[in-house]
Amino acid sequence: MLLKTKIEFLKGVGPQRADLLKTELGIFTLEDLLMHFPFRYVDKTKFHQIKDIGPYADGQTVQIKGILRRLETKGEGRKKRLIGVLRDETGAVELVWFKGASYLANSLKPGTEYVAYGRVTVFNNKANIPHPEMESLADNKAKKELTLAPVYSTTDKCTKKGLDAKGIRKLTAVLMNKLTEKDVPETLPKYILDKLKLPKRYDAVRHIHFPKNPLDLKAAKARLKFEELFFLQLRLLQLKKNRKDTLRGYPFPKIGEYFMTFFNEKIPFELTGAQKRVIKEIRRDMGTPMQMNRLVQGDVGSGKTMVALMAMLMALDNGFQAAMLAPTEILAQQHYIGITDYLKGMGVRVGYLSGSVKGKKRKELLKFLESGDIQILIGTHAILEDPVVFKNLGLAITDEQHRFGVKQRSKLWKKNKPYPPHILVMTATPIPRTLAMTLYGDLDVSVIDELPPGRKEVKTLHKYESGRLRVLGFMREQIKLGRQVYVVYPLIEESETLDLNNLMEGFESLSRDFPTPEYNISVVHGRLKPDDKDFEMQRFVKGETQIMVATTVIEVGVNVPNASVMVIENTERFGLSQLHQLRGRVGRGAEQSYCILMTGNKLSKEGRSRVQTMVSTNNGFEIADADLRLRGPGNIEGTQQSGIIRFRLADLAQDGKILSTAREIASRVLEDDPTFSKPHHAGLKAYMDEYSKKVKGWGRIG
């Protein structure tokens, strides 16, 4: 089969270039080359006149046509360069090459008509074009081919061996001449192509590389984007269906005394409509003999913990235990204190387990857990260790699930036999719908999209460095009213030492502005020993210090209702979702809270956009959408380690509509023909069989 041929056997490649294509670009076969799509196109039908290329054209990309009049080599050693002069009827411009001068001196022919394409630079008030792409117009073939020219991504090492964008374009053209419709079999059934007015796969692949016009290119992109998203969704929905069909769980048919007593007598506030809806969805899942796998997304402060607690009470009512995992000790402690408090007087035994619970205390806890005396266990990933044995674990909840690796989470599944416990995953990192469909496409997703009544929205203000004195004055006013203040510094790994210095300088400066004994300041950062970190955090929690200077270690978990001011330093260095998470640390009490975004006086366009988004909205989902547009899916927190798919063409920030259509059609296909056995799904089945081999072991994303 042509496309399975090794890349070294393509005319123009050979062993040396093949090694580079493999190591630098991951191109091992002709199929890999075919799937190495261009990232942009140059319109080779439009030309500039040389008279228009003056000093004011600096930085512009131009295409010109003219006769190469002169070619000479100047300078020695590193300063050696090749200089040519291209002339049309309106003037002349200098072309300069610093790399590959000897090769070009032999291949370019003065007196020949060329098309030159490149970016204008200005030196000594004179325009020139360094390293232009050159295309000879001596033969009619080149004249005919002047359309939308593809530009491919490449590397410096490849470029030195002639595998620049133009070199890869030539190899792709050689491949295209060999390619027949038989080599690119159709994967989508005709009824889908007709419904969405998509071109055949063969035509799409040809036109993505060498489009005849913008319409062909648009149609090719639409087809290939749909295909990428459709097969991913088909795979995810297939996993979900298989899990629901084959993975049994413990049914919880009863809503009993624990749940009803809590709901009628203990619940401290009226549940929001969104909380009630999500509890019903969980209730429906756990009522069946299938294992629940549900993600609950809820903005900071939307009441996920209350939903989790009520799900745990359903497990208890049916004679099962429940466990809740948090990523940090401080967050686990908060859950433990909060839940114990809610359940006071109900006769429910709640245990706490983390790495710091040792000796006799630990031994006793493990004994009571195994006997079933402890009904709810809350803790860190210490819960996942082998000696931790439950009598009958029926529900396992992970909070901030992106902090747990896939391996760790799979240990939860093994904590009960013969069936795994129901799984509830909670995150306060709002994920745009398009990303949730991709990251968690095989989970059922619930969204808590309302805040409990009576919570005041955090007021967000942007202040430049020049307004620092007013910010310090405002902090003093708030402390006088009995409130507490966070001051947060970035901690980015590449410049950890610099950031730490920044934080310590900030601490020293604040110590001068807020001197003891009138004020006390806590300092928390990643370099502190866990015990010291906890000690400093607890001082702040207890109100012994008025200001906490910290890095983003406080992003998840500290709940101090009395802290009403969050000052974020170097705001421009944080991502939007991270800023939103930080802001969620305030606004937890009854008082009006404030988030002050400090930046330098000069802001990049992206930095300004981030700050404006934060000031204009408190809605986590709007912020997540803006973050996706600004930074792309791979950078949104937690998606890196979740194994997010790298798309060739599809872009989750822009292709939400295509994704929704793809999921809807994939869902219908699976309903109608789950095994793809109908004749019109033959191409689809062949592709899915091949696709499943490629993603073997990728049982679940997330």
The answer to whether domain 459-617 has CATH 3.40.50.300 is yes
| pLDDT at 412 (0 to 100) | 75
Q: How confident is the model at residue 633 (pLDDT cuts 50, 70, 90)?
A: low
CB within 8 Å of 667: residues ≥ 6 apart: 233, 237
Residue pair 582/488 in contact by the 8 Å Cβ criterion: yes
**In whole angstroms, what is the distance from residue 21 CA to residue 7 CA?**
8
Instruction: Indicate whether 140 pLDDT > 70.
Output: no
Q: How confident is the model at residue 673 (pLDDT cuts 50, 70, 90)?
A: very high
**In whole angstroms, what is the distance from residue 466 CA to residue 599 CA?**
9
Higher pLDDT, 251 or 431: 251
Task: Return the sign of the alpha-carbon dihedral for residues 346, 348, 271, 288.
Answer: negative
pLDDT above 70 covers a percentage of the chain that reads: 89
Q: Give the residue among 304, 68, 30, 307 at the shortest CA–CA distance from 172.
A: 30
Over residues 435-449, mean pLDDT: 76
**In whole angstroms, what is the distance from residue 393 CA to residue 325 CA?**
13
Q: Give the residue among 693, 655, 681, 672 at the shortest CA–CA distance from 228.
A: 655
Radius of gyration of the chain (CA): 31
Q: What is the 3-state secondary structure (H, E, C) of 568-602?
A: ECCHHHCCHHHHHHHHCCCCCCCCCCEEEEEECCC
| pLDDT at 500 (0 to 100) | 62
Instruction: Read off the pLDDT of residues 62-83 as tens digits, 9 standing for 90 and up.
Output: 899 999 998 988 888 777 889 9
Q: Which fold has domain 257-286+303-427?
A: Rossmann fold (3.40.50)
Place of tokens 């170097």: 570
Residue 75 dihedral angles phi and psi, to the nearest 5°? 75, 170
Specify the range with the lowest mean pLDDT, choosing from 66-75, 153-162, 282-291, 437-446.
437-446
446 beta partners:
296
Q: Alpha helices of 10-95 — where are they, by DSSP H?
A: 14-25, 30-34
- The boundaries of every CATH 2.40.50.140 domain in the chain are 46-146
Q: How confident is the model at residue 642 (pLDDT cuts 50, 70, 90)?
A: very low
Residue pair 450/274 in contact by the 8 Å Cβ criterion: yes
Instruction: Read off the pLDDT of residues 280-292 as tens digits, 9 standing for 90 and up.
Output: 999 999 999 998 9
Amino acid, res. 325:
L
- The boundaries of every CATH 3.40.50.300 domain in the chain are 257-286+303-427, 459-617
Q: Give the residue among 364, 369, 329 at the shortest CA–CA distance from 350.
A: 369
**In whole angstroms, what is the distance from residue 198 CA to residue 114 CA?**
37
Query: Can you list the positions of beta strands (E) in 131-229?
Result: 133-136, 148-151
Q: Which fold has domain 46-146?
A: OB fold (Dihydrolipoamide Acetyltransferase, E2P) (2.40.50)
Instruction: Indicate whether 699 pLDDT > 80.
Output: no
Instruction: Read off the pLDDT of residues 254-269 as tens digits, 9 standing for 90 and up.
Output: 999 999 999 999 888 8
* pTM listed for this prediction: 0.66
Rounded alpha-carbon distances, angstroms, from residue 175 to 141, 153, 543: 17, 18, 71
Rounded alpha-carbon distances, angstroms, from residue 30 to 8, 33, 69, 176, 611: 9, 5, 40, 10, 46
